[in-house]
Amino acid sequence: MGTEKQTSLPVLLSLIAVMVVPVYLYGMRPVMIALCALATAVICDILFKKLFHIPRKKGDWSSLSAAMIIALMMPATVDYFVVVVAVLSGLLIAKYAFGGTGNHIFHPSALGLAIVGLSFPEQVLAYPNPKQMLDLGASIWQNSDIIYATTPASLLNVGGTPRIEWFDILLGNFPGAMGTTCVLVLLAVLLFFCFRKIISYKIVLSALVTAVLYAVLFPRVVTGTLNSVVYELISGVFLFGLAFLACDQDLAPQKTAGQILYGIVFALLVMIFRTVGALDIETVFVLLVMNALSREFDRYGNWLIKGVKFLWGKLRGNVSKTEAGIEKAGDGNA
């Protein structure tokens, strides 16, 4: 894999591409939210690098990527000051306090969103209906006439069943964080990142398989297995988090066994949090836990491999002894 410095530009460009969908659904306000986040990140880069005596690195776009991730995980109606607080707190606490790019132990975007999600839930967890802002002619400043909607995650939490057309699911035409609902775009980003080795396909596959199996075994909808799988995958920020947060090369495990175990535990915790919690952004809280333990997954993965090899060796040894005993008994009878 490459370094964060080498991958931050493709990630940033992919985030800009994802922005096309929110603009289509909500108008120009997503652009203003993104510009606010990016401006905050630029100012933070200038100030915090001087404050913490961190040298500048050419080609390092990671702060801008983190700011875009935060913006896209917000509702289109969020106040601009909340975006500023999220980017500022995420970069300051999770990145620059630890020495800058490559030295952080938490993803700045996950921490920033978690902070404002707990501090301003009425701002961060209230989602408008797509195209409503366009229909009402809402400006980039006023949102007083907006009527907030129920997201698929909220419906599942109270035992309800979302009713969304398949075409709308693919295009993201349902309530949610403005950059996290377009399934078609997110799947394309996941494939592109895996193909370019920007993220680990082992983490992606293990997480997706685990989420699908959990949805099949413990369905929260009564309209069939397929609906259970689809609604679990599109709920909250799971797919978006998997593409842009969970597989961060500086924070994810580096060995195959560790990556597979990491993906399984990540998806499993997200699904469990959904069952017992009531937040659309449960993924970011799970990611903070996973970030803190990510390096341990390599160690546990090695233990798991050694344990499997040991058991396999014992099993083969027992089989060999049994076969030898049968052969010896056969020779004695002869």
Counting DSSP H helices and E strands in the chain, the numbers are 16, 2
**DSSP symbols for 121-154:** HHHHS-EEPTTHHHHHT--SS--TTPPEE--HHH
Residues of the chain with pLDDT under 70: 1-7, 133-145, 306-310, 312, 317-334
Structure tokens at 220: 């929260």
Split into its structural domains, the chain has a count of 1
In a domain, 321, yes or no: no
322 within domain boundaries: no
pLDDT of residue 2: 39
- The enclosing domain of 87 has a CATH number of 1.10.3430
pLDDT digits (tens, 9 = 90+) for 280-318: 899 999 999 999 888 888 887 777 776 666 676 777 765
324 found inside a domain: no
Classify residue 84: in a domain, yes or no.
yes
Residue 92 lies in a domain: yes
Residue 83, domain extent = 4-309
Is 245 a domain residue? yes
pLDDT value, residue 90 = 95
Question: What pLDDT score was predicted for residue 312?
Answer: 67
pLDDT of residue 64: 94
Contacts of 80 (CB under 8 A, 6+ apart): 32, 33, 36
Q: Does any domain span residue 249?
A: yes
Lookup: tokens for 92: 């300051």
Is 327 domain-assigned?
no
The whole-model pTM stands at 0.87
Cβ atoms within 10 A of the Cβ of 64, count? 20
**b/e string for 215-245 if b means 16 or more Cβ within 10 A?**
beeebbbeeeeebbbbbbbbbbbbbbbbbbb
Confidence (pLDDT) at 1: 38
Q: Each residue of 103-156: pLDDT tens digit?
A: 888 999 999 999 999 999 999 999 988 877 666 555 566 555 677 888 898 888
